[in-house]
């Protein structure tokens, strides 16, 4: 450890990280494209940047209600289905670009594949009766 152990800066400030995670959860095809550890890291790095830029652009181009304490400007923007879909399109584009990068071709997925899951389910059924 270093002398600066008490200093920690998160990789992403909220709410962009939580918005990306939420939209990933709503669109599992994105996760399928970026299943290995390095792909996940690359995806998150560029997704946070590009989604942040897109949201900033949307904020400049669209009026949002004055802050009343109930929702952030991002939440206000994402209530509009067009804006939410634009963010999802950007996430997909980032995932597709990362998935197409040949540097990651030989990487294994971060978790088990469907066949491994099925083998485990069969094992568990046998063991648990």
Predicted TM-score of the model (pTM)? 0.71
Distances (CA, A) of 68 to 64, 73, 76, 84, 94: 11, 10, 11, 21, 33
* pLDDT of 9: 44
Contact 30, 95 (CB under 8 A): yes
Q: Which two tokens stand for residue 100?
A: 């197409």
Q: Specify whether the CB–CB gap between 87 and 19 falls below 8 A.
A: yes
Helix (H, G, I), strand (E, B) or coil at 70: coil
Which pLDDT tens digits describe the chain residue by residue (129 residues)? 455 454 444 444 567 888 899 999 999 999 888 888 888 889 999 999 999 999 999 999 998 888 888 888 888 899 999 999 999 999 999 999 999 988 877 766 656 667 777 887 887 888 887
| Whole-number Å distance between alpha carbons of 24 and 39 | 14
């Amino acid at each position: 450890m270093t002398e600066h152990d008490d200093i920690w800066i998160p990789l992403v400030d909220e709410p962009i990280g939580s918005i990306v995670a939420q939209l990933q959860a709503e669109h599992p095809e994105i996760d399928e494209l970026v299943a290995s550890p390095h792909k996940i890291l690359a995806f998150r790095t560029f997704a946070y940047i590009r989604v942040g830029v897109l949201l900033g652009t949307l904020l400049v181009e669209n009026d949002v209600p004055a802050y009343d304490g109930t929702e952030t400007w991002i939440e206000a923007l994402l209530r509009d289905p067009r804006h939410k879909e634009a963010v999802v399109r950007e996430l997909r584009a980032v995932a597709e670009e990362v998935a197409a990068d040949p540097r990651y071709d030989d990487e294994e997925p971060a978790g088990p594949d469907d066949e491994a899951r099925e083998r485990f389910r069969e094992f568990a059924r046998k063991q648990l009766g």
